[in-house]
Copies of this chain bind each other. A is one copy, B any other.
Amino acid sequence: MIFALRPSERSGRPTLWIPLVRRIREPFKGLWALPGGPLTHSESLQDAASRNLRETTGLAPNYLEQLYAFGGLHRSPTQRVVSIVYWALVQPTEAALADESENVRWFRADRLGELAFDHNSIVDYALWRLRNKMAYGSIAYHLLGEYFTLAQVREVYQAVLDRELDPANFRRQVKATPEIEETDQYLQGGKHRPPRLYRFTGRPGLDPDNRSTP
């Protein structure tokens, strides 16, 4: 499953969106589902996740991590299925390149209808994990482009954590993390004092896949 930031229809503020694909056959024909596909013999789990993502949505995420292996007995009514679910964060520029069509569409992550299989609870779990990671790690930056203002970072946190944050205090915290690099650039064009642009210099890497790939 893929998370991306898109402006809300009403407020215009950035909110979390995910792409879903419509099922074109039974079971759950017509319902929306998470993109996915089979694992072949010649690819690792992560490679398979990447490939399935690209084939169904055209997306190539820069951040991809294993979420959880779901293997309950009755996930599918027709057969036993074990799904090893990955989740990804994509930057806005990448997200804009996604192939939207009759059967592939973006939805607000917090306003989904009934999905196929157990995909609602998978999304719930992913959202929970995302909020958790956000609270500690420096994961928010993978939802942004290379250069960003501190206000944009704050908007990401506000969108995911769903609460307001004090601009001054938030700025103090972010500036204290060594992975954030100040640039000499300023973002022009707003009708107010132009904010400084920053860069993220850290690496994601926590998973065993990312640590020891021979």
Q: List residues of chain A with CB under 8 Å of any chain B CB.
A: 39, 41-45, 66, 68-74, 80, 82, 84, 121-122, 125, 207-209, 211-214
Contact between B43 and A73, CB atoms less than 8 A apart: yes
Contact between B212 and A121, CB atoms less than 8 A apart: yes
Partner of A68, one of B66, B70, B72, B125: B66
Partner of A41, one of B42, B80, B84: B80
The complex is assembled from copies of this chain, and their number is 2
Distance of A213 Cα from B72 Cα, bound (Å): 9
* A73 nearest in chain B by CB position: B44
Tell whether A208 pairs with B45 under 8 Å between CB atoms, given A39-B82, A82-B39. no
For the complex of A and B, 8 pairs with smallest distance between CB atoms = A45-B71, A69-B69, A125-B208, A69-B84, A121-B212, A44-B72, A41-B80, A44-B73
Partner of A73, one of B42, B121, B208: B42
